[in-house]
């Protein structure tokens, strides 16, 4: 992620946050653990009992209050923020309170530990606290060019793992779901991910549970196997789902998959700038409902993705937010026949002024492997 977060990029992001603070009437933004801090500083704070907090005033220089022993891990950008290391006997919360000055409205990172906020409330009783998501969220949602390239790279790496799965290069028959999950995880790392976030492998009846935890179920000839995996590469997340059939699929499965593939393609095509998130959801849902599978599509169509695996915007009924250029999200409809089988097809897509820009290009057809 450090390769992406150059000084000028960070400075530009901070300018945009300051403009949003002015528009919203926020005097200071306070960021601790969570993705907002690395987005603005390039530094990922560990979730420690010692406080790390960026104090970003609307008018004035930004300061990162940081435990002295953690300070060497920070790549400094003195033109963007300065470091204020604190020693073991200092009170970091009062340092933050001093830097806040007479701020009336503070926006604090959603992931900040409650203990620090509770202490701050005592230090600055007349300050109103909002969630930083209200200020930083809309900015983080619109990915810049470097972020989109990072998502594309992560997506291409996940695609290579998916393609190996679809070509039959990942042994399935006779292995447990957990073994295949470990195999897919290793392949994500081999393809350049620094971290695996999940690798769902669900065979046969287990695939009817969308977030099945891969276990001791042995995969057999004739199974339909759903694989949904992703990780983090250069600080940005991948997430892909593909299904493989070990032998010719049952007629009802093949028919449902054809509907699913059409629904997924319809939602990708609907992912244009200006479309409401709920319209994208409806594009998939309408196809599935028209085919009679509506009650079997039991979750939203997608979630935003970026530094976090799940973030705004959510592609769900009731979300009227219009898509903007740079919004990145999954399109992952599914059809689940309880106790019998489940199907899901997932790509990451970025909305752009030239239309939907898919980050995943692995074959969308149901891979049928000889067994
Ligand atoms: Zn999920
Ligand atoms: Zn997924
Ligand atoms: Zn997903």
pLDDT tens digits along 248-293: 999 999 999 999 999 999 999 999 999 999 999 999 999 999 999 9
pLDDT band at residue 1 using 50, 70 and 90 as cut-offs? very low
And the tokens for 53? 């907090």
pLDDT band at residue 3 using 50, 70 and 90 as cut-offs? low
352-to-267, 317, 361 alpha-carbon distances in Å: 15, 22, 17
pTM of the predicted model as reported, rounded to 2 decimal places: 0.92
What percentage of the chain's residues is helix, strand, coil (to nearest 5)?
35, 25, 40
The whole-angstrom separation of Cα 331 and Cα 314 is: 10
Closest among 167, 185, 177 to 212, alpha carbons compared: 177
Residue pointed to by tokens 């399109």: 331
**Does the pLDDT at position 16 exceed 70?**
yes
For the segment 343-354, the average pLDDT, to the nearest whole number, is: 98
Ranking 1-10, 136-145, 173-182, 206-215 by mean pLDDT, the lowest is 1-10
Q: How far is the CA of 63 from the centre of ligand 2 (A)?
A: 37
Q: How far is the CA of 218 from the centre of ligand 1 (A)?
A: 23
* For the CA of 348, the nearest ligand: 3
Q: Which residues are registered as beta bridge partners of 225?
A: 203, 244
**Does the pLDDT at position 2 exceed 80?**
no
The whole-angstrom separation of Cα 126 and Cα 158 is: 49
For the segment 169-186, the average pLDDT, to the nearest whole number, is: 98
Q: How far is the CA of 312 from the centre of ligand 3 (A)?
A: 12
Sequence-distant (≥ 6) Cβ neighbours of residue 244 within 8 angstroms: 165, 166, 172, 224, 225, 227, 366, 367, 368, 369
Q: How far is the CA of 311 from the centre of ligand 3 (A)?
A: 10
Of the chain, the end-to-end C-alpha distance in Å amounts to 42
103 neighbors 124 (Cβ within 8 angstroms) = yes
* For the CA of 304, the nearest ligand: 3
């Amino acid at each position: 992620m450090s390769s992406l977060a150059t000084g000028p990029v960070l400075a530009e992001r901070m300018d945009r946050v300051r403009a949003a603070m002015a528009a919203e009437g926020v005097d200071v933004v306070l960021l601790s653990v969570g993705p907002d801090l690395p987005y603005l500083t390039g530094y990922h704070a560990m979730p420690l009992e010692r406080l790390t907090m960026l104090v970003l005033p609307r008018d004035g220089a930004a300061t990162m209050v940081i435990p002295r022993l953690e300070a060497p891990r920070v790549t400094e950008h003195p033109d963007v923020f300065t470091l204020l290391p604190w020693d073991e006997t200092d009170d970091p919360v009062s340092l933050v309170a001093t830097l806040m000055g007479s701020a009336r409205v503070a926006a604090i990172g959603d992931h900040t530990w409650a203990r620090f906020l509770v202490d701050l409330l005592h230090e600055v009783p007349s300050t109103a606290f909002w969630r930083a998501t209200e200020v930083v969220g809309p900015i983080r949602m619109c990915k810049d060019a470097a972020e989109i390239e990072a998502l594309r790279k992560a997506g291409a790496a996940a695609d290579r793992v998916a393609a190996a799965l679809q070509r039959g290069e990942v042994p399935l028959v006779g292995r447990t779901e957990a073994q295949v999950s470990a195999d897919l995880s290793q392949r994500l790392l081999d393809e350049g991910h620094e971290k695996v976030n999940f690798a769902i492998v669900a065979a046969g009846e287990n695939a009817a549970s969308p977030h099945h935890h891969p276990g001791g179920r042995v995969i057999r000839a004739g199974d339909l196997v759903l694989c949904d995996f992703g990780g983090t590469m250069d600080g940005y997340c991948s997430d892909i789902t593909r299904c493989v059939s070990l032998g010719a699929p049952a007629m009802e499965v093949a028919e449902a998959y054809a509907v699913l593939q059409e629904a997924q393609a319809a939602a990708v095509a609907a992912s244009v700038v200006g479309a409401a998130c709920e319209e994208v959801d409806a594009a998939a849902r309408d196809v599935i409902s028209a085919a009679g599978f509506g009650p079997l599509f039991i979750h939203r169509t997608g979630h935003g993705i970026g530094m976090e695996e799940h973030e705004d915007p959510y592609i769900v009924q009731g979300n009227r937010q219009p898509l903007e250029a740079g919004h990145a999200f999954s399109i992952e409809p599914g059809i689940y026949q309880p106790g019998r089988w489940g199907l899901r097809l997932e790509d990451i897509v970025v909305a752009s002024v030239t239309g939907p820009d898919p980050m995943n290009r692995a074959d969308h057809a149901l891979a049928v492997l000889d067994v």
